A = this chain, B = another copy of it.
Amino acid sequence: MREFLKTKGYKMTPQRELVFRSFFELGEHVSVDELFDRVKRIDESVGYSTVWRNLKLICEVGLAREVTVGDGVTRYDRVTRKPHGHFYCLKCKSLQEFDLNEIAGRLSKVATAEKFETESFKVEIEGVCKSCRDKENKKAKRNLSTSPKISRTKPSRQK
């Protein structure tokens, strides 16, 4: 790692070492805050901006990619596995991955047809995951006996 960075003109530091290591331990869809928390637990003195900058660096050198989905926070995803899309559950905010094999092929075709030079795809499905749906169903059943009230509340305009 140290060598790899050196070739690109970067130095190694204890903080960088720690951020990199922690990132690869956590791995999946980490946010800056999450990584910062974990790093802090090991070395209280590391600053937020250091974590942020090194996360950017990890992307810079091609070891991770930013993924923004659903809410307004950027997450960082290792680039080990092959291209994949993301399910985003609107209830529990969880992320699941799914394979993009055929879909990626089709997308490439579309891009070529439109003379567009593809750099990357982003495929995302928003909805409700199974476990959240199950919970809803249970709740619905429980309420069958109680008097069903019609909501008169105007739905909030804000997210």
Measured CB to CB, the residues of A under 8 A from B are 9, 53, 56-57, 60, 68, 85, 87, 89-90, 96, 98-99, 102-103, 106-107, 110-111, 114-130, 133, 154-155, 157-158
Which of these, B120, B129, B157, contacts A126 with CB under 8 Å?
A: B120
Q: List 24 A-B contacts (CB under 8 A).
A: A56-B158, A57-B157, A68-B68, A87-B111, A87-B116, A90-B119, A96-B116, A98-B110, A98-B114, A103-B103, A103-B107, A103-B110, A110-B125, A111-B125, A115-B129, A117-B127, A117-B129, A118-B127, A121-B124, A121-B125, A122-B122, A122-B123, A123-B123, A123-B124
The answer to whether B123 and A107 have CB atoms under 8 Å apart is: yes
Closest to A113 in B: B98
Which of these, B57, B99, B127, contacts A116 with CB under 8 Å?
A: B127
Closest to A133 in B: B117
- Which residues in B have their C-beta under 8 angstroms from that of A128? 116-117, 119
Closest to A69 in B: B122
Knowing that A122-B122, A122-B123 are A-B contacts, what are 11 other residue pairs whose CB atoms are under 8 Å apart, sorted by A's residue number?
A56-B157, A96-B114, A103-B106, A103-B110, A107-B125, A115-B130, A117-B129, A117-B133, A118-B125, A119-B127, A123-B123
